[in-house]
Amino acid sequence: MTELFNKKTIERLCANIQISAKPGKAAKEWLELLKSDALRDEVKNYPNFELIILQDLLGYDLKKSLSHEEGNIEFPFKDDSGKFIIGFEVKGTSTKDLFAIQAGRKKEHESPVKQLWDYMGGKLDLEYGIVTNYKDFILLDKSKGYSKYHFFNFTEIERNENKLKEFIAIFSKESTIDKKFLEELYNKSVIEEREFTKEFYKLFHETRLMLIKEFQDNGASKEDSIHYGQLFLNRLMFVFFTEDTGKLESRLFERTLLQMLETKDILSEGSTFICDIITNLFSKLNSGSSSPIEIFGFNGGLFRQEIPRNIYFKDLQKKDYFKNEKQYPNLKHPKLNEAEQQLVNTYKDKLNPIISNLLIMASYDFKTEVNVNILGHIFEQSLTDLEELKEGEISKRKKEGVYYTPEYITDYICRNTIIPYLSKKDATTVEDLLNEYSSNISELEKKFKEIKILDPACGSGAFLIKAVDVLLEIQKGIQEIKQQKGIYTRTAQLKKKKFEGMISLTKWWEEDEAREIIENNIFGVDINEESVEITKLSLFLKIARKNKKLIDLSQNIKCGNSLIDDPSIDEKAFNWQKEFKEIFDNGGFDVIIGNPPYVSNWSLSESNREIVKFLDKQYSEITVGHWDVYIIFIYQALKLLKKNGLQSFILPSSFATEKYGKLIRKQIINQYSLKSILDFGKTPVFDDVARQYIIYVIESSQKDTKTEIFNFKDNVAVLSHNINQKNFLTFNNYTFRYDLSENDLKIKAKLEKNNPKIGNLFCINVGVVAHSNAISPKSFKKDDVIYDKDEGNFDKFINGEDLSRYSINWSGHYIDYKSKSKYFHRPKFPLLFESPKLIIRRITGENNSIIANFDDKKYYSNDNVIFMLPWSEEVLKFQKPEKKWSIDWDCKKISLKYVLGILNSKLMTYYFSKLLATGTLQGTYSGIYPEDLRQFPIVKKYSIKNLEIKVTEQIQLNSTLNTLKEKIFNRIKLSFKIEKTTKKIKNFYKLSFLDFQKEIQKYSTIKLSLKEQDEWEDYFNEYKKELLDLKENIDKTDKEIDGLVYELYGLTPEEVKIVEGTTNS
């Protein structure tokens, strides 16, 4: 999708533009110059362009804001502050195609559009750029990327005054510089297209639900009803699209249905004339027909399957027949025209709503309103809903929204695999690729024709469609260069003049080029049959041409399970070497792209445990723990890749850090080149999905170990830094810690040098998993063994929520542990709980701060708390034989408070955040596991006296703070009879008294007199000051502890700044 703005949004926002006499006269004057062919020469017509277009028509101030030829651009303009905003790059009308390569330029194979783009990013750093040949005007917005633009043909204003309004609204000084109208136009275009897509999908989905219901009620199975309901709509989307793009007779479908509706007397509750007409149309579109009107037979498999006789809908239906299928689309566009609506109304609510819905869909313009981009979103959402229809339920999110892969994702992946693969020098733009082969364009053409591109989970075909777009762009460039060099051989497309074919290389032949590309270069597999059919349909829309048959895509797009080749495990088992024999005879696929399914083995086990067992065994070299299916897709894609091929997926960012990905990460590091990682950070990628994402690109070779790290900023991938992929081998679980700088790596090396891991000195384990095991005579859950009072031989019990840094706030619970110890799912030895120890919360604090405490009160806990106990011979007795080792140090002598100070320090927060945290929880929190803590480097000392003293002081300060807070908090609850407490009330001392009152009033019905308010204000302020003083002392002591830990590990002042900068962010 190249359009920068939505056409309907343009029409709406530009409708109120008032055209005064001066711009109206200027427009007519320019049209006359175009008609007389007086604008062929670029430079000679600069004065005309300045005065007529820039000044009189668009309102630019030539004296005040124009700096002619600055930054190599002919007409750059500033705003009032002196910042350059927009520039006009100008050619004469002798330059026919602004996207075509210019002969004779220094950069030989650069188009005027690319020339403008380069200037925009140069010295002037322009927000907007406009390139024109005096007839066509093309607008680029730097923040939206090079591939999106707005195209305007000036001659169109002669026939349509609204086009002149559009020209002024989009290109004028007032819009581009003064009022930032283009931002508004873009944002509203995005919103309106999404809203229209959502509403049109409701109409589409409602119609599908109606078809399914009626097919089922007429005796078809649920599976067949769903299949044929989708098939009906797939075919009709193709019909509507080909009608509106001139490849099929205009309004053929509507006219045929309306003619039947006009014969009102023959339609009855039992008749199926309309359905019969539609199925008959499908047959004609398959094989062709000359009577009663000529219909070309497209074939290609789209219309090949016959509709069975038990698949039909009736012409008339009862009013409430589809009451449960209604989706109530709220389309803000005209529906049926007046005559059509009157005809439908004559049936007085008896006409089957399926028929009226189909007429409404057909009434939209599938060239502008329901464009290919929107259809792609419709198809992608269809797949999700089809799966849920089969399972019998549809989630609320799926009912209300349309879920699809954003185009910038498919564009990034395709450009960063296809272009570099074809390149010999890692080019990433089409222009650079063409420049690279300028002296031997035939070499590029040969490699281009041989490239094989695969999406192994193709879904609706979004990635394959974008791959076709990128290949078309390259193909067009190749042909233009061949024309310039006089070696263009497509004689059918050339006239007598040497370069006349240049302007003919536009959409009129694009379908034929796309056909050749799809047939030779594009391949996809999906386990879902509907996905396969929708991918084919998406590709058919690319190649459909009037009076030209579609190609058979059955050898390119196939149905099967990409991960399983054993038919005894899955009837859709897929043998890659057999299904794509010719490709594998040549070494495999050159480029593999996509967005694989994200399904945990847990979720998969619920539907098919046998498949999970098979996958675990088949892919045992990379599956570990609670793996996700996308891990196997990565492995499979790399195995299907030809040597030096490129592979790229978009994945959850947790792939870089989660334990279940460690074996595939190790394999990537050791056997492949990890070319790049694009980190989207907190940018939402998929609507209504809170996950964070990355895109990686891998080459099937080991010729380069440099990984480029990109960040996604302002809708653009920005290179951040490079990292040697071999560094990842040094990280725990081979995590891709791509955000580490050279300074971070130096600090890591310093912390770990000569310092043992803390796991060598301490037994580290979670508490009891507090539910019954298989041998328990009676099953029980955690709540069954936790009590509010001690009823005998019980033990004090704490939860993670009872813990804060240096403080345990026991909530008064007990656990019946000893009587059931052997029946717990994962029991622990009592020594772990009853010895002096360190306790760490399993969920970090904000910014990944470690929440660690000292305990000598024998607290027990469940598995949301981690316990640390120094190794001793006594503790080793409780370890499994394979986990025992000799102790060469008296660990029992280690001061727990010394270690506590280190754990709670900013330095260990930094170490954890940078090297161990998975970042999979919301906000700035992470889960921390025993294996993480075992990795922490510890200076091997029994104690540091000053550090111990400060930690003891900190424990006392926190205890005092929490005791006082609890006392006042209980007073507030009792006085105001508050049952529900909030974070604000608990931290009342951070509020003003006025805000405190407002918060209390939300949850209490008690009203204070003025005198009582005065008393409470005094009470509030007294304790607020005391608590704030305590908090100030705690913060001061924290800094002192941090300073001692920095000194202990030998950090320089510069390194301390790096640590502080990370932990304070």
145 within a domain of the structure (yes/no): yes
- Same domain? 356 vs 217: yes
- Same domain? 915 vs 931: yes
Mean pLDDT of 728-739: 92
Domain that includes residue 929, residue range: 758-941
C-alpha 1044: how far from chain center: 44
- Same domain? 21 vs 155: yes
Q: What is the pLDDT of residue 606?
A: 80
Q: What is the pLDDT of residue 605?
A: 83
Residue 489 has pLDDT above 50, yes or no: no
Residue 508 has pLDDT above 70, yes or no: no
The CA-to-CA distance between both ends of the chain, in Å, stands at 38
| Nearest Cα to Cα of residue 1020 among 981, 977, 985 | 985
Mean pLDDT of 148-160: 92
At 855, which amino acid appears?
A: D
Higher pLDDT, 74 or 1049: 1049
Mean pLDDT of 485-505: 45
Listed range (266-270, 508-512, 787-791, 1035-1039) with the worst mean pLDDT: 508-512
- Same domain? 367 vs 457: no
57 within a domain of the structure (yes/no): yes
- The continuous run of DSSP H or E covering 590 comes out as strand 589-594
Tell me the pLDDT tens digit for each residue of 901-930.
Answer: 999 999 999 999 999 988 655 556 788 999
- Same domain? 453 vs 570: yes
Q: What is the pLDDT of residue 173?
A: 92
Q: What is the pLDDT of residue 1065?
A: 61
Task: Tell me if 825 sits within 8 A of 773, measured CB to CB.
Answer: yes
- Same domain? 1009 vs 928: no
- The continuous run of DSSP H or E covering 709 comes out as strand 706-713
Tell me the pLDDT tens digit for each residue of 883-899.
Answer: 666 676 889 899 999 99
Residue 649 — left, alpha, or beta (φ > 0 → left; ψ -120 to 50 → alpha)?
beta
Number of structural domains the chain divides into: 5
- Same domain? 556 vs 587: yes
Instruction: List residues bridging with 815 in a β-sheet.
Output: 786, 795
Mean pLDDT of 740-767: 93
- Same domain? 162 vs 194: no
- The continuous run of DSSP H or E covering 718 comes out as strand 716-724
1020 within a domain of the structure (yes/no): yes
732 within a domain of the structure (yes/no): no
The last residue of a domain, from among 400, 421, 438: 400
| C-alpha dihedral sign at 1047, 1053, 1058, 1062 | positive
At 246, which amino acid appears?
A: G
Token pair 């304070």 is found at 1064
Tell me the pLDDT tens digit for each residue of 548-570.
Answer: 888 899 999 999 999 999 999 99
Q: Quick one: tokens of 791? A: 């009823």
Higher pLDDT, 280 or 792: 280
Q: In whole angstroms, what is the distance from residue 786 CA to residue 803 CA? A: 18
pLDDT tier, 702 (very low <50, low <70, confident <90, very high otherwise) = confident
Compute the mean pLDDT over every residue in the chain, rounded to the nearest whole number. Answer: 88
What does each C-alpha distance from 1 to 204, 371, 505, 720 come to in angstroms?
22, 9, 19, 28
Q: In whole angstroms, what is the distance from residue 738 CA to residue 727 CA? A: 10
846 within a domain of the structure (yes/no): yes
Tell me the pLDDT tens digit for each residue of 928-975.
Answer: 999 999 999 999 999 899 999 999 999 999 999 999 988 998 898 889
Instruction: List residues bridging with 351 in a β-sheet.
Output: 316
Residue 292 has pLDDT above 80, yes or no: no
709 within a domain of the structure (yes/no): no
Q: Quick one: tokens of 176? A: 């581009």
Mean pLDDT of 689-701: 91
- Same domain? 926 vs 960: no
Tell me the pLDDT tens digit for each residue of 424-461.
Answer: 988 988 988 998 998 899 999 999 999 999 999 999 99
Q: Quick one: tokens of 463? A: 């990635």
> How would you list the strands of the sheet with 762-766, edge to edge?
762-766, 865-870, 837-841, 852-855
Tell me the pLDDT tens digit for each residue of 387-424.
Answer: 888 776 544 333 334 456 888 999 999 999 999 999 99
What does each C-alpha distance from 956 to 535, 808, 951 come to in angstroms?
66, 11, 9
- Same domain? 527 vs 552: yes
Most confident of 175-184, 363-372, 633-642, 1010-1019: 633-642
Contact residues for 1062 (Cβ-Cβ < 8 A; gap 6+): 910, 913, 914
At 250, which amino acid appears?
A: S
The last residue of a domain, from among 595, 617, 647: 595
Q: Quick one: tokens of 1030? A: 């305590």
Q: In whole angstroms, what is the distance from residue 11 CA to residue 7 CA? A: 6
Q: Quick one: tokens of 544? A: 């459909």
The last residue of a domain, from among 160, 179, 198: 179
Q: In whole angstroms, what is the distance from residue 413 CA to residue 702 CA? A: 21
Task: Tell me if 277 sits within 8 A of 290, measured CB to CB.
Answer: no
DSSP structure class, residue 525:
E
Beta strand pairing call for 813-815 and 786-787: antiparallel
Tell me the pLDDT tens digit for each residue of 1013-1049.
Answer: 999 999 999 999 999 999 999 999 999 999 999 999 9
Higher pLDDT, 982 or 475: 475
Q: What is the pLDDT of residue 882?
A: 62
Mean pLDDT of 114-132: 89
Q: In whole angstroms, what is the distance from residue 524 CA to residue 456 CA? A: 6
Task: Tell me if 841 sits within 8 A of 851, measured CB to CB.
Answer: yes
At 58, which amino acid appears?
A: L
Q: What is the pLDDT of residue 957?
A: 97
Mean pLDDT of 23-29: 94
Q: Before 292, cis peptide (omega within 30)?
A: yes
- Same domain? 238 vs 387: yes
2 within a domain of the structure (yes/no): no
pLDDT tier, 331 (very low <50, low <70, confident <90, very high otherwise) = low
3-state secondary structure of 787: strand
- Same domain? 936 vs 956: no
Residue 94 has pLDDT above 90, yes or no: yes
C-alpha 363: how far from chain center: 33
Token pair 């041998």 is found at 775
Tell me the pLDDT tens digit for each residue of 562-599.
Answer: 999 999 999 999 999 999 999 999 999 999 999 999 98
Residue 10 sits at the vertex; the CA angle it makes with 9 and 16, to the nearest 5 degrees, is 105
Q: In whole angstroms, what is the distance from residue 640 CA to residue 644 CA? A: 12
1054 within a domain of the structure (yes/no): no
Q: Quick one: tokens of 278? A: 């539609």
Q: Quick one: tokens of 317? A: 């239906």
Mean pLDDT of 378-392: 83
Task: Tell me if 240 sits within 8 A of 362, measured CB to CB.
Answer: yes
| Nearest Cα to Cα of residue 4 among 198, 173, 199, 166 | 166
